[in-house]
Structure 1
Amino acid sequence: MTRKVYLASVGTRSGKSVLSLGLAMNYPGKVGFYKPFRESIVVKDGQPMDQDAILMASVLQLPAAEKLSPFVYDMYDPIPIDHIVKGYDEVREGKEFMIVEGSRNLANGYSCGISSFDIAKAVDAPIVLVSSTTQQSLESAFLFKEICEKRGLELKGVVINRCEGSKERDFLESKGMTVIGGIPDIPQISTFHVIEITEMIPSKVLAGRAGLNKIVEDVLVGAMSPQVAMRYMRRSKQKAVITGGDRTEIMLAALSTNTSCIVVTGGITPSRMVTSRADEIGVPIIMTEEDTLTVVEALEHLIARINPDDKEKIELITRGIRKGVDLDLIW
């Protein structure tokens, strides 16, 4: 009989992907993965795929990554629940432990009978809820628990993401919630390389190609005055600065501080003064036709992304989950 767990969340950036990977890497037997709905979509070999599915297919050596996350959720044209179950059954064969990863949002699919609650019940999987430490997420955990109880679903407990102390755990446990553990804050897994920006958004590198392998630890939007911007830039190390091509003073300020790259939005070519200085110090200037909000959202996905080739990140996550989560309660 295949063991299984359904990982649910009540909001974005909850840590489900990190927990999925950590569980998969720590389980001693053959692990399978299924995420019904694609969310962070990337194009691989000309085909849209889910970022998490690509990662798990790689680390678990599973064929056909597209089958691990086959559907796109559309409230007006929903996928029937039996199609979702059929997809699960196809990838479950031969596995000792199945990880089923739910959608980012508690409400997704609720009106169509294909919510996390519906899918967990259909595949007969106990649920582990992954929550951030925000008050809204912690409050929503109790709503989630109440729905599980009303539907007769097994909620094993909660895993708290970026759990630094005991305050959140004590709060949840004082109100009858089982806490399975916490995902420690691992700063290294929130970084990415400059070159990954060029892979994520349609863009052109105008200068500073020598710095494409630099690490990005922070993202700043240069929408303020140069004087204010300089104060923020001095505090932030190894940053990507997003600004318009006509904001020469902002870009020069960025180039005078610890900046990994500058992303120029709106398709406006920056001045020669900026590109020459960027070439001198090896800071890439990346120009895109996209607007600032689109670029910010793309970089947020990069912050959350785990590259299948990044063995160091994967090992950090594996150790962090082993240390912070009571795995016996999940197996």
Structure 2
Amino acid sequence: MTMRAILVTSTAAYSGKSGLSLALISTLAARGLNVGYFKPYGAMPITVDGVLTDQDALYINKTLQRPAPTEAVCPIVRTQALVEAVLAHAEGDLSTAVSESYHTCSEGRDVMVIEGPSDPFQASALGLAAPDLAVMLGAQMLLLDRPRANDLPDSVICESRRLGELLRGVIFNWVHESQAEFVTGRLAPYLESRNIPVFGVIPHDTALSSVTVHEIVDALNGAVLSAEDQLDEAVETFMVGAMGQDKALRFFRRKARKAVITGGDRADVQLAALETNTRCIILTGNMPPSSLVLSRAEELGVPILLVDTDTLTAVEKMEHLMGHTRLHDATKADRIREMFERSVDIGALAKAFEIEL
């Protein structure tokens, strides 16, 4: 059997690419295939036993029946040192490093799942953008997209034109219930009519994007000022409070199980947030709240987190945290696999990539 390679790419960051790669590996392995994993370029650096690698790549590699060497599974990791080296034209031969590592990871495999960059442009300066990698490694491409409500699939069409015959099909991911009928009944048939196969529509699952208050504390390096016994509570979304108290109360009532980000000097906004279903309040600018707010938060069991970043930075960190499924959570990893198998036409996908099941 000739080895087949699937390069998973996406139209935008935070599309669930790592989770889908994990689910695809698990699904194919359950059908008796020897499946390998490779991530040429990573953006979440971690050092393990002196080896620099990517956090998600490290975890996914460990789930394989035959894991690859840690130093091979993700040969290029974005660090400030790499950025400086590239800008000084001193990065070395990255293509050779990728090719040699891929050979190590793919030896003896039936199928390789290659996790590509996070968006169409990432790693272009390195010569490691998704189409570059597909040609280099002899892979065909699977595109992941998070569709927008009642909108045209412009990003998918654009990528289809750019990738040409390298693209074998699309999976829509994290589709909200309100969008499901539109995506399955309108978008998917439209793309199929343009010879772009759609292998599945995976529904949005709030539990997969939720984080605990404790994870927020770690990500924002925050100090907990109240309700320290409530850090295991799940946060499903976040809102930014920058309005008057009357408007804030109506605004915050729109969403439950949320974190609220606001300035430490906005006691009115903080008190309004506490009167709604709020799991924690993040105060920016390293400005502590009033004793009235602290007392009310303690009474209601809502953690107040104090961070030294500005509001914009806190928002960016929260977007990254909530847009990235934590694969090391076994419950979430199992849920991703379950949803993938239920929502994706594995037979059609395998046929498109010439994989014998």
Give the TM-score of the pair, scaled to structure 2: 0.83
1:74-223 alignment, distance < 5 Å: 74=83, 76=87, 77=89, 80-110=94-124, 112-134=126-148, 138-149=153-164, 153-163=165-175, 164-165=180-181, 166=184, 167-223=186-242
> Partners in 1 of 2:138 and 2:173 — Cα distance?
25
1:21-60 alignment, distance < 5 Å: 21-27=22-28, 28=30, 29-41=33-45, 49-60=53-64
Work out whether residues 226 and 250 of structure 1, in 8 Å CA contact, stay in contact via their aligned partners in 2. yes
> Partners in 2 of 1:97 and 1:283 — Cα distance?
48
Q: By how many angstroms is 1:45 displaced?
A: 8.3
State the percentage of identical aligned residues.
34
Change (3 A) 1:305 1:113: closer
| Match of residue 323 from structure 1 | 342
Q: By how many angstroms is 1:280 displaced?
A: 2.2
Q: By how many angstroms is 1:294 displaced?
A: 1.7
Work out whether residues 55 and 306 of structure 1, in 8 Å CA contact, stay in contact via their aligned partners in 2. no
Change (3 A) 1:236 1:130: same
* Farther off after superposition, 36-45 or 78-87: 36-45
Work out whether residues 216 and 318 of structure 2, in 8 Å CA contact, stay in contact via their aligned partners in 1. yes
Structure 1 residue identity aligned to 2:306? M
Q: Following superposition, which runs of at least 4 residues in structure 1 exceed 6 angstroms of deviation?
A: 42-48
What do residues 203-249 of structure 1 show as CA deviations (whole Å, max 9, x unaligned)?
Answer: 21111101100010110111121211111211211110111111111
State whether structure 2 residue 16 is matched by structure 1 residue 15: yes
Of 51, 69, 74, which residue of structure 2 is paired with 1:69?
74
| Match of residue 252 from structure 1 | 271
Change (3 A) 1:237 1:81: same
Alpha-carbon RMSD: 2.6
Q: By how many angstroms is 1:252 displaced?
A: 1.2
Change (3 A) 1:137 1:53: farther
> Partners in 1 of 2:280 and 2:70 — Cα distance?
32
What do residues 159-184 of structure 1 show as CA deviations (whole Å, max 9, x unaligned)?
Answer: 11234132210221122211122222
**Gap regions ≥5 residues in structure 2:** none
* Farther off after superposition, 210-219 or 183-192: 183-192
User: What is the aligned residue count?
Assistant: 328
Give the TM-score of the pair, scaled to structure 1: 0.89
Change (3 A) 1:137 1:263: farther
Give the SS at the match of 1:207. Answer: coil
Give the SS at the match of 2:276. Answer: coil
State whether structure 2 residue 320 is matched by structure 1 residue 304: no
**Gap regions ≥5 residues in structure 1:** none
Change (3 A) 1:295 1:50: farther
